[in-house]
Each structure stands twice: as C-alpha cells, then as structure tokens.
Amino acid sequence: MDSTQELIKNQVTANPVVLYMKGTPKFPQCGFSGLAVQILQASGVKDFVAVDVLADPAIRDGIKVYANWPTIPQLYIKGEFVGGADIMRDLFQQGELQKMLESATA
C-alpha cells in the first residue's frame, strides 16, 4: 500500500465522517460537492472532515483507487465508503443517511 492510500485510510478511519470534495464546505468548486455539503448539513452534521482533492493531486487520484469509485465527492462514515452525491441524496430522502450519521457522531 503506498503512502497516499495509507493517508486516505488513516483519514477515513480516524474521523467519523469524512467528505472528499472539490473545494471546501464554504466554497465548493463543483455542484455535486456543494450538494454533498448541503445534505450533510441538512442531516444535522455539525462536524465533519472535508478533504479538498483539488489541493492534492495524489489524494484526488488516490481516493478514486481507494474506493474503486470514479467520481468525487465521496462520503465515508466510520471508515466505510457510502457513495457520491446521488447516493447521498437517495439515502437522505429515504431517511437512511441521517441514521448512519447519527450512529457515527453519537
């Protein structure tokens, strides 16, 4: 496992909620990243780790390998890959995402 994969593994396992996104929660650099932040906020998450993949090309490429998922944003809860903005939206509408987040941040 290379150092980027180890770094990603450490980020997602050391923090209950991690969002890999383009930009920052205050200044998202793509619509899907902005949507992901809005969904987390609507779910009542006050504290999550946001990793700006645009700031680090190694993370930007590495996260796609780590999850075997081609797009960003990517949400991790308690070290588990949840999905991107579309999956987050579907889970949120079903009320599932809120339950997952409650158990992670409780």
Residue pLDDT, tens place only, 12-63? 999 999 999 999 999 999 999 999 999 999 999 988 999 999 999 999 999 9
What average pLDDT score do residues 56-82 get?
96
SS percent in the chain: helix, strand, coil, step 5: 55, 20, 25
Q: Is 30 annotated as a binding residue?
A: yes
**Domain made up of 3-99: CATH architecture:** 3-Layer(aba) Sandwich (3.40)
* pTM of the complete model: 0.95
What whole-number distance in Å separates Cα of residue 46 and Cα of residue 30?
A: 21
pLDDT band at 105 (very low <50, low <70, confident <90, very high): confident
| CA separation, residue 78 to residues 5, 16, 33, 35 (Å) | 17, 5, 20, 21
> What mean pLDDT is reported for the chain?
95
pLDDT of residue 46: 86
Place of tokens 């999550």: 48
